[in-house]
Structure 1
């Protein structure tokens, strides 16, 4: 590669929600378990998995990545976002993912189609009046004949949507009938908790729950360096340390810092400390407006009061929160639970709290 070519490589970082990054830092074990589940199938509990995390923790990107891996392993994948009409969307995605030709005949939705290397499939006599479960059963029968299964992927879990509940209860029947079907979902902590507490969806408490927390600095540094080098540049060790500090183990911040630092280097071959310093400042402003502001808008006055008692950096004890707020232990317990479920704070050890979102303490102080 010539020097001129190296200088002009496309930015390899992807600061867009849901975009699969070059390296899924910190998620290797989850990916390994899910790939094993797709490979073995059967009664593997990971075939029903929920990914939980605050905004910017990489939930959507992980769902997208796992969908790609499942397709590579021969599964048909239908991806949707929780919303009204999602069941029809899933059904249409199944048909689109498993056929190259859609028949115009009203009695046959798909004729003489083939699924990648899985052989021929023909949807026979699917009655429009049949309910969603019945229509999916017919599709699953055909997929079974082709020796493959279905992965349903749902982002932004929302238990207030009736079709979300219908999907979950129908999936329970698929499991009882030993269908080869997986359900992988992602959502904010408080919405996942609400779904799990529902009377008709309580069986999901037995699903594999993966909490997407922060990524260790050593993994951040490795993934950051590899991304930079694969893009055609290099990065100084001191600059890498500064980048890791600015990222704070947060996946979306990883992409923002990387993207802006790369741009700051422009046509230079090496990303320096100064480039990272410039990039990190812009990234922080973006993170504040795109993540912290949206999170703040959902907080109650009590939530904010609790958060403002916490140390801007590091850990804060339950006793410190109660003393600074001038409140009783019951008040602390109530808001601790709310904020843990919202993914705004973490409790690394009993009675000890810290912010789950990088820069949240400073953001709150600036808001007054």
Structure 2
């Protein structure tokens, strides 16, 4: 059979990679995050209502915030805590937390915790729920405080608590974040019920919160900043992960992979995954050439994976405004000018600015000005815009008028 006729699905299946380059997928080894995890978890176990029981993870996209939230949530479940999870990109988090407590019937739940430990409603065994006849007709979120308080009062196991896990906190409009903070503060700090919360936020979201005088509770959350991973910890993670999968890596390859990853947690997983696949014919004995190829292949994937989904969710007008900001290489841009360039009326400028700040593409840069969050965002964004521009075929463009039908 000719090569072109071969069924490419019939070949040998690639061996499973020990690396996990997927957002929210927990790797086997967490590089450089043990100390931060220990600090955050220790804070959650402090006396109810203290600032440490409300940690917030701060870091750019791709720094592993979602992975860390998932690890904290799973460990808390195993310890018998009730864990409720929400993302700021999916609507009002108070409404989502309330939905998980009350359930589809909107009944007033009676919770029963078994010996396995509590889990998020609907995610598996561990929590039993029986509805009572009291079935309010209000929507989710409206009576969240009472539902949260009732759930907290039913935590019978010593040291067990209700843990609210909020990802993408920067994407939540400030009024909703203020309301969520006020409810949690009332239940935990005033009523002293066993409730705590951990959140993850982009740095630009933290700036917005800190500048909001009405967000007292959110401003006082204990901040934990995620930084780039140190070279030694990167190398240890590469070596342990590869060894755990049954492979080996040379010192030269280790140095090449470390330099190419630049301390970026997600890049580590991308490079590791690529090295693993490239070295399969050699039995996963990874050499320097594998590492160099992996770095070259992973670089464009990194920024597409980090920024691509957020960019694709934007409207055409959003993209026009951001493109105008990206085209200014000399410094911050007056937002009103970017809005004018996109043909947006001045009355909507504030709404667009608030929404685009929550995307993490831009950050405040002085009164009335904004700037992109990094130079790499600028080049990625302009490349994306150029690649989306329609191309006119050369031969067609050269035809005389009326000859292109």
Pair in the same fold by TM > 0.5: yes
| Post-superposition CA distance 1:100-122 (Å, at most 9, x none) | xx9x8x86534666362589977
Counterpart for residue 182 of structure 2: 169
Aligned-residue Cα RMSD (Å) equals 3.6
**1:333–1:269 distance in 2 versus 1, CA, 3 Å:** closer
Cα offset for 1:91?
Answer: 2.9
Equivalent residues in 2 for 1:60-209, closer than 5 Å: 60-82=66-88, 83-94=90-101, 109-110=109-110, 114=114, 116-117=116-117, 128=136, 129=138, 131-144=143-156, 148-157=160-169, 158-160=171-173, 162-174=175-187, 175-209=189-223
Is 299-308 or 221-230 further displaced after alignment? Answer: 299-308
Q: Is the 8 A contact 1:169 1:200 kept in 2?
A: no
Q: Is the 8 A contact 1:123 1:139 kept in 2?
A: no
Cα offset for 1:88?
Answer: 3.5
Cα offset for 1:308?
Answer: 8.2
Q: Which runs of 5+ in 1 are unaligned?
A: 1-6, 97-101, 310-331, 346-354
Q: Is the 8 A contact 1:76 1:94 kept in 2?
A: no
Aligned with 2:62 (options 56, 60, 73): 56
Counterpart for residue 242 of structure 2: 228
State the SS of the aligned residue for 1:143. Answer: coil
Cα offset for 1:144?
Answer: 4.8
State the SS of the aligned residue for 1:12. Answer: coil
Cα offset for 1:263?
Answer: 0.7
Cα offset for 1:197?
Answer: 2.9
CA distance in 1 between partners of 2:370 and 2:109 (Å): 47
Counterpart for residue 295 of structure 2: 280
Count of equivalent residues: 317
Equivalent residues in 2 for 1:289-300, closer than 5 Å: 289-291=304-306, 299=322
**1:293–1:231 distance in 2 versus 1, CA, 3 Å:** same
Q: Which runs of 5+ in 2 are unaligned?
A: 1-12, 119-125, 312-318, 333-363, 387-405
Q: Is the 8 A contact 1:215 1:249 kept in 2?
A: yes
Aligned with 1:237 (options 229, 248, 251): 251
Equivalent residues in 2 for 1:305-316, closer than 5 Å: 305-306=328-329
Aligned with 1:260 (options 262, 274, 287): 274
| Post-superposition CA distance 1:122-168 (Å, at most 9, x none) | 77856525711112111111125776211101111124264433212
> Radius of gyration: which is bigger?
2
Cα offset for 1:20?
Answer: 1.0
Is 179-188 or 219-228 further displaced after alignment? Answer: 179-188
